[in-house]
Structure 1
Amino acid sequence: MARCIFCRTNIEKGTGKIFVMKDGRTIDFCSNKCEKNMIKLGKKNTELKWITKKSEKEKKEELIEELEESSKEEEKPKPKGKEK
């Protein structure tokens, strides 16, 4: 799965745009908004509020998922084996 180079969100199959640079490198964008801000307007992704808010939200979601996974691992009962 590709990631948008500007806002770093995952791009689903069949969506988004691929921009080919003059040197042959490809750049993936999730939307026209990201493409215009980077290519045409020359903005940096750290300057825009909507990207920083999105990245903060994604970080929180990842932390929640990690905590849920770790709690599931702790709850699993240990198999009882033969004691010597």
Structure 2
Amino acid sequence: MEERRCSFCNRIIEPGTGKLYARRDGTVFYFCSSKCENNVALGRVTRRVKWARKGA
């Protein structure tokens, strides 16, 4: 099974959970929670949010 990570906070997403979002241009985003999904929709940047993991 492929390991997927949240596109916003970089956490590992367990198989069968989370949400996949695909844009019209073919870009695919994976989200572990609605909290991460909403932060992307609001235009927030990961490096400015303290609870999001940086890098690893």
Larger Rg: 1
1:54-65 correspondence to structure 2 within 5 Å: 55=53
Which residue matches 1:76? none
Q: Which has the higher helix share?
A: 1
Q: With structure 1 as the length reference, what TM-score do the two structures score? A: 0.58
Of 2, 10, 13 in structure 2, the residue corresponding to residue 11 of structure 1 is 13
Root-mean-square deviation (CA), in Å? Answer: 1.5
Which residue matches 1:69? none
Identity %: 43
| 1:48 partnered with 2:37 | no
Within 2, Cα distance between the matches of 1:41 and 1:25?
A: 18
Report 1 or 2 for greater relative contact order, CA contacts < 8 Å, sequence distance ≥ 6. 2
Q: With structure 2 as the length reference, what TM-score do the two structures score? A: 0.84
Within 2, Cα distance between the matches of 1:48 and 1:29?
A: 16
Describe the SS at the equivalent of 2:51: helix
Of 33, 36, 43 in structure 2, the residue corresponding to residue 34 of structure 1 is 36
In the alignment, structure 1 segments of 5+ residues that lack a partner are: 60-84
Number of aligned residues: 53
Q: Which runs of 4+ in 1 moved over 2 A?
A: none
Of 1, 4, 14 in structure 2, the residue corresponding to residue 2 of structure 1 is 4
